Amino acid sequence: MSFLLGVLIFVVALLFSIMLHEAGHFVTAKKFGMKVTQFFVGFGQTLWSRMRGETEYGVKALPLGGYVKITGMTALEEVDPADEPRSFRRQPGWQRAIVLLAGSFMHFLLAFVLLFALAVGIGIQDSTAIGGVDRCVPASLKAMDTGSCAGSTTTSPARRAGLRAGDKVIAIDGTPVHNWTQLGDQIRRHPAGRPMRVTVLRDGRVLTLTATPSTVPGRGSFLGIEESTAFQTVGPLQGVSFAGSTFGQILTGSAAALAHLPSALPDLFAKNRSHTPAGNLSSVVGVADDTGQAVAQGGVGWETKVWEVLLLIVSLNIFVGAFNLLPLLPLDGGHLAVVIFERIRAWLARMFGRPDPGLVDMQKLVPLSVGVFAVLVGLAVLLIAADIVNPVHPFQ
């Protein structure tokens, strides 16, 4: 039941995000006097619709997206001469750019607000505090994922070094660490079997302990510490700072996932997918499954569950917002690139005393747009298939 509740939360959040995206286009287009004829959530058969003024609002059968129909989006569209002055294509370039950017802006705004609310309302984890110390060195990746000491007789390096739950790690080999990601990177980069200086803050005192990382097959250097799950609320200014820094980290991670996309595709159906770059790729089916797992997991408090669910929603919105700005048709970023090209071309024409060339001939770009759309659909189908056949279970 808890798993289904998590999936339902994700579906509602996804639909809400879609509505916000389209509302961004809708509100800015209306603000600039453009004619908006439709505002729909979903695709396919219309389930419900209602006319309000000149706009039809409605819901369609497949909740896989949404759209706002603005009159005259491209030169290909036939427009009633009476509506031409209010068409998208006849507005100044800066207004068209704002309308195109507004969808992604709403994703980013939602993500920032949720991160701020988490920090101020529930609190943030002490980013480098140790929540627990493992008893042993796992014999395999599977044992590490489950926390099992079966088949292992080796005490974890952290336990041998005297590290304790509650210690705050402030440096590794003299290099300061400010979050768990930096801490993990420093540990993994350190050669197994070579002593490592771990500087911690314990009860107000700075201690430097020596640990010798072991190795787990397929993973690399292993210390044996777990992230703290304790939360501490912060004030508004710290909340803004936390939201900004976390937003940047997620955005950077999203860019890295996209950069590794070609090399990650072959590992989508590999047995060790979760330990390859393909483990960072997911479809809406995979994110829905992750949300269900986050809600259904046992042994954690409600704060942790809320944090993990909302962080999934935040990550999804940041990724979608950034992906949508890629300069590829039919994405908003592709249309934005066309507007920028038109303005640059018009500026060059003025410099040489020539007339404005006007709108780009979109007919020439139709094959490219169709090709990109086909690739995106194919990629979506591939990711969905991988998430069904070979899912990643981050909360198990």
What pairs with residue 209 in β-bridges? Answer: 198
Task: Note whether 187 and 181 are within 8 A (CB).
Answer: no
Using only C-alpha atoms, what is the Rg of the chain?
25
Long-range CB contacts for residues 12-15, cutoff 8 Å, separation at least 24: 13/313, 13/316, 14/63, 14/284, 14/316, 15/41, 15/63
Burial per residue of 319-346, b for 16 or more beta-carbon CB atoms within 10 angstroms, e otherwise: bbbbbbbeebbebbbbbbbbbeebbeeb
Is 227 noted as a catalytic residue in this protein?
no
Residue with tokens 């005192």: 205
Sheet order of strands, 175-176 included:
175-176, 168-172, 196-202, 205-211
CA distance 299 to 359: 59
Out of 22, 54, 78, 308, pick the active-site residue: 22
Residues 6 or more apart whose Cβ sits within 8 Å of residue 383: 268, 281, 282, 283, 285, 286
Structure tokens at 170: 């402030």
Report the relative pairing of strands 168-172 and 175-176 from DSSP bridges: antiparallel
Residue 70 has phi, psi (to 5 degrees) of: -105, 130
What pairs with residue 226 in β-bridges? Answer: 132
Residue with tokens 């400010």: 178
Active-site residues: which are they? 22
